[in-house]
Structure 1
Amino acid sequence: MSTEKFELIAPCHFGLEAVLKREILDLGYEISKVEDGKVTFLADAQGIADANVFLRTTERILLKVAEVKAETFDELFEATKALPWERYIPQDGKFWVAKANSVKSKLFSPSDIQSIMKKAIVERLKGVYNVSWFPEDGASFPIRVAFMKDVATIGIDTSGVSLHKRGYRQMTVKAPITETLASALIMLTPWKKDRSLVDPFCGSGTFPIEAAMMAADMAPGMNRSFLAEDWKHVVPRRCWYNAVEEAQDRVNLKIETDIQGYDIDAEALKAARANAKMAGVDSLIHFQQRPVKEFHHPKPYGFIITNPPYGERLEEKAALPQLYSEIGESYRGLDKWSMYLITSYDKAESDIGRKADKNRKIYNGMLKTYFYQFLGPKPPKRSQSQEKKEGTIE
């Protein structure tokens, strides 16, 4: 079964499909479709393991079962029943329709869609396995269905707990940015591991930690488990061993980095340090308690990548103009730096005192935010002999 090709669906934040597409291509898999908030690609069983272990910017990996058109519950029942569920779900499998959503479709009640589809799958499997009852005490197969204009895309979740949960974030502060979103935003910048990176509002440390994991080539999923590890008939055990072994071989913590996280909140920094340690990258990050107005850095050509306060609460809103003008002031004091910030605060540019060179709309959950990009000059190309002298070429 290992040579069998599957279609896999990788959901992501709206506006960040291009970053995820690049990641999938870099893993060596072929893209079949890019839509709003998801990328579909072709892979074998090894690809299911690789995608879960290595992809930084997707929320989960769904094994696509089918797309079916249904305008009535009868049609949905018959179409679902006609699918080859036995290819995926063994006789003792635990299966349920974990999530249903519907956009511009005649069938829109999630709970009705869920129960009709569950009944249809039970009917199908009763016929195949010749049983009238299922123990459902084996591996888990949560099914997800998304209706768009009366077409249902049906997939089985291979990941389980969302992939943004890398396993390192034990402690959080209020309104943290997810690990997948932080990764995608870093990847939208030209930052490389030999350049300085500072997050002056680091909170529980997500940006610096994700950057350090990238710098050390540490796979985001190497220290966690996935539902499909129990699907031995679909993904042989060795696929997971291969992925994790490759992930472990790639880690390199002996690199020189200049990654820093500042925050004025001592509790946040405590959380950030604990999380970095948990992620195994504490040696690559320097955390420090300091306000943004005291931020300066001697080196040129660095990056600020940050998620400053948005002022979601009224009493915080009043402090924003002052805060963003301090961000602008600190930024102007840096030599040839670039600054990338994600915020829903609509006066960010005027308070910073400079128009962003680029900005892109990104949905952070339901919140519309902007990723403002203030671009510094590119550093001069260094000659190889110079790099050898500085020891940056291995």
Structure 2
Amino acid sequence: MANQLDLIVTTAMGLESVAAEELKKLGYDRLTVENGKITFSAQPVDICRTNLWMRTADRIRLKVGEFKALTFDSLFEQTKALPWADFLPENANFPVTGKSHKSVLHSVPDCQAIVKKAIVESMKKHYHKEWFTEDGPQYKIQIALNKDIAALSIDTSGDGLHKRGYRQLHNIAPLKETLASAMILLSRWTPDRPFVDPFCGSGTLPIEAAMIGQNIAPGFNRSFVSENWPLFQDGEWNRAREEADNLANYDQQLNIMGSDIDHKMIELSEHNALEAGFSGLITFKQMQVADFTSKQESGCMIGNPPYGERMGDLKQIEGISRDLGQLFKKYETWSFYFISSFEDFESFFGRKATKKRKLYNGRIRTDYYQYFGRKYPIRQETES
């Protein structure tokens, strides 16, 4: 395989710029940012680094080729012409998935079958074989058609990157780890400041904050499908993990608290914090949001309050929004950040957000309401 690769970082809608900022901090530049994805040139070791370090990305994909395809014959021939043997070993297990949007070739099953056949023909020519056992490492190939442009890529992650490995148990409507990280990164919270999540549920926001605060790579305690690829024969994965371990600041003191009105959620959060390695470092407390008190200055409250039919009735949502507004008045040096699909959130909170950003919680379109505290450095806040 060539040393120079094209990687695609996929994200949820609305998180592209946050993920791009992460990539820049990891040292990558010349990024091409589009809806739901970021493309950039990289080396093989960067597959390891990005999978380990990206907090807000869904997956890291290896781009094989891209071309216009208006007929099945064109799709077959152009797929066959790509250098598949540079990526797939002789015994590769390569299932093909697909999707099509606003394209002439709209039958996804047909496109998948054609791509699979074309890859087999390409490999026959290179390996001089008529049959492939497919009993080796997995290379999950995707054919994605968008406005007649066919993009072929290989998944390097396996399970989605939101699966950090610590949340074996969760509540009914959990906040995705990648979205939780994005909310924290957008707040510009730093580990020297208090952090509070008054609706902690299964503990995702406090745990993600702890990982950010101690600079722990979110993928450090999980595995990735590409770890088994022959491409990585020179210890790239081991070196990337050693780098992540060396960069972590396990001694960083943290002041993080999660609370919830449901004692079962507190037990769940404590269990997940233990799995994540933060037992005793994060405080969890059963409490309704109106009872929150603190003598500390310049704290950061980030939360996912109940909203929608799935998570609470309208009166409850209105009451919680009012309670949050009262806290903001009481704690003038604190900054408050809440994600909600409740359209009247600002009205019941009692004031317009300093800044508002559209985000998607799964398929639910939400707004991220940001209220900046009086003494918090405005110079940093406006960067988000």
- Asked if structure 2 preserves the Cα contact closer than 8 Å seen for 1:48 and 1:235, the reply is no
Q: How many residues align?
A: 378
Does residue 257 (structure 1) correspond to residue 254 (structure 2)? The answer is yes
Structure 2 equivalent of residue 242 of structure 1: 239
Residue 380 of structure 1: how far off its partner (Å): 7.1
Flag structure 2 segments of 5+ consecutive residues without an equivalent: 379-384
Give the match for residue 307 of structure 1: 304
8 Å contact from structure 1 (residues 339, 374) kept in 2: yes
Counterpart for residue 39 of structure 1? 38
SS at match of 2:235: helix
Query: Which residue of the other structure, out of 176, 183, 186, is the alignment partner of 1:185?
Result: 183
The yes-or-no answer on 1:124 pairing with 2:133 is no
**Contact kept? 1:359, 1:373, Cα under 8 Å:** yes
**Matches of residues 167-206 of structure 1 in structure 2 within 5 Å?**
167-206=165-204
CA contact (8 A) 2:79 2:119 kept: yes
Matched, 1:217 2:219: no
Aligned partner of residue 113 in structure 2, secondary structure: helix
The answer on whether the counterparts of 2:62 and 2:156 sit within 8 Å (CA) in structure 1 is: yes
AA aligned to 2:63 is K
Q: Is the aligned partner of 1:133 residue 2:131?
A: yes
**Unaligned 5+ residue runs, structure 1?**
382-394
Q: How far apart are the structure 2 equivalents of 1:199 and 1:42?
A: 38
CA distance in 2, matches of 1:188, 1:316: 28
Equivalent-residue separation in structure 1 for 2:236 and 2:371 (angstroms): 42
4+ residue runs over 3 A deviation: 378-381
Partner of 2:328: 331
* C-alpha distance in 1 between matches for 2:377 and 2:26: 30
Mapped to 2, the partners of 1:266 and 1:321 lie a distance apart of 22
338-347 vs 105-114, which moves further = 105-114
- Counterpart Cα distance in 1 of 2:215 and 2:31: 27
Question: CA RMSD of the aligned region, Å?
Answer: 1.6
**Who is 1:161 aligned against?**
159
Q: What TM-score results when the alignment is normalised by the length of structure 1?
A: 0.92
Counterpart position of 1:289? 286
Q: 1:287 corresponds to which letter in structure 2?
A: F
CA distance in 1, matches of 2:120, 2:247: 44
Match of 1:271 in 2: 268
Relative distance call for 1:170 and 1:150 in structure 2 (3 A) is: same
1:96, CA displacement in angstroms? Answer: 1.3
1:294–1:330 Cα contact (<8 Å) kept: no
The change in CA–CA distance for 1:60 and 1:380 in structure 2 (over 3 A counts) is: closer
**What SS class does the counterpart of residue 82 from structure 2 fall into?**
coil
Q: Describe the SS at the equivalent of 2:365.
A: strand
Choose 184-193 or 309-318, whichever is displaced more. Answer: 309-318
TM-score, structure 2 length as denominator? 0.95
C-alpha distance in 1 between matches for 2:258 and 2:151: 41
Matches within 5 A, 1:14-29: 14-29=13-28
TM superposition shift of 1:377: 2.4
Taking structure 1 as reference, are residues 272 and 190 closer, same or farther at Cα in structure 2, changes over 3 Å only? same
Q: Distance in 2 between matches of 1:261 and 1:10?
A: 31
Residues 361 and 81 of structure 1: CA distance in aligned 2, closer, same or farther (over 3 Å): same
Task: Name 1:322's counterpart in structure 2.
Answer: 319
Spell out the pairing of 1:46-57 with structure 2 (5 A cutoff). 46-57=45-56
